[in-house]
Amino acid sequence: MGTATGPGTTGSTGPSRYVQRVLVRARAFDAVRPWVWDAVLTACWTLAALVDASGGWRTIARDPSLPTWLVVMTSLTLALPLYWRRRRPTAALAVMACGALVSAASGAFLQAAFLQAIPVFHIALNRPPRALLWSTALILPPLLTGAFRFQADTWDQHVVPNLWAYALVALLGITVRSRREERDQEVRLAAAAERARIAREMHDIIGHNLSVITGLADGGRYAAAKNPERAVQALDAIGTTSRQALSELRRLLGVLREEDDATEAADRTPQPGLADLPALIDGVRKAGLRVHAELPSEEPELAPGAQLTVYRVLQEALTNTLKHAGAAAEATVTLTYGAYGSGPLVLTVTDTGPATDTGSGPSEPAQGQGLVGMRERAALYDGTLECGPTPAGGGWRVRLTLPRPTREDSPS
């Protein structure tokens, strides 16, 4: 059976992309201000507990004649600790267990006692497995107290289903934790693979520099007797090239934090640079993406490794736009730079597609591995990479900033 296409397909993907964009922004906001979400969730559950304490609790209570102040205080004890459920889940559960014990012993049987499942989930999500044993020790006494005091004949019907409910919540937390660990492992593997790739590319650059130094040294030796001025020029060129090779070697050693396989064959293909950006953009245009480019008429003086970083970032950004932004999207590429020591080199790539996270952020690697490699490359040259929705919304922006060395510090 063929896949249906047409307006219905576009309409079905629109809401999902909007939801994804909202979730990305919500996660980013929560990472910066976690207390907001904690306060909102705590306030909602506290309000629900107090509404139940206003009279609804009597429908299942074993002793409906309990004073209102006791029910209110017990409800607050069961709801307010949720504010600390992410930072101190075990302590929050301990306080809530005290409220649950009062609720069961008094015969109130408040439904707010089920809120203990929330810190149990966070314990399974963020704490060692043995912490779940302490959770069981906190949850079980209130259940047994209420069961044997008011349901002695059918105590198991009260205890066992509740324990199963908490066990399922703990299993859910363990599952989410496992998925998160797998996702983090994928990010680490992607970063390691990208570092290895960068190392191979740096190997080519350094090999080229050493070949140039050898040729200049041989030429300078022959020219020394007949043309001393040419020999001096050769020595100057050797100094410049060797400083460039040394700079690239230092960055290479920073990348290779782990032992590399010495038997792995290096790719000898010449690495692209700023001069290859127009060809890259033309290739993307041929693939169907409309690209508006604003490139400088003269190439800035930049180390080959940094030029390769600019090329790869642009390549990844345009590829993501081509894959995710849709057929009607357009991309704009701008490259600006100042003189040595007066301003950084800035590459900006924006598109008019939906503002969905097509890369891989610190907390969402399942959305792709491209941004992981781009951030590695930017950090290699003390640069920064900013990825996110455009300020006006309705698009995505990738901005690479590389600091510009002074001419004295430049390897070229």
Give the residue from 256, 365, 266, 373 showing the smallest Cα distance to 314. 373
Residue with tokens 């709801």: 79
Q: Would you say residue 257 has pLDDT above 70?
A: no
**Averaged pLDDT for residues 199-214:** 66
What pLDDT, in 10s, does the model give residues 142-174?
A: 999 999 998 877 888 889 999 999 999 999 999
Q: Would you say residue 381 has pLDDT above 70?
A: yes
Band (405; pLDDT cuts 50, 70, 90) = low
Q: How far is CA 385 from CA 70, 316, 347, in A?
A: 56, 12, 10
Asked whether the beta carbons of 245 and 304 are under 8 A apart, the reply is no
Query: Which pLDDT belongs to residue 212?
Result: 66
pTM of the model: 0.56
Q: How far is CA 380 from CA 194, 195, 336, 374, in A?
A: 11, 10, 20, 10
For residue 238 the two structure tokens come to 């050797």
Q: Would you say residue 388 has pLDDT above 60?
A: yes
Residue with tokens 């610190």: 362
Selected residue with higher pLDDT from 250 and 304? 304
Taken in order 272, 316, 384, 378, the sign of the CA dihedral is: negative
Query: Which pLDDT belongs to residue 135?
Result: 94
Q: How far is CA 13 from CA 19, 83, 102, 149, 323, in A?
A: 10, 36, 50, 55, 14
Band (273; pLDDT cuts 50, 70, 90) = confident
Query: Which pLDDT belongs to residue 363?
Result: 35
Band (253; pLDDT cuts 50, 70, 90) = low
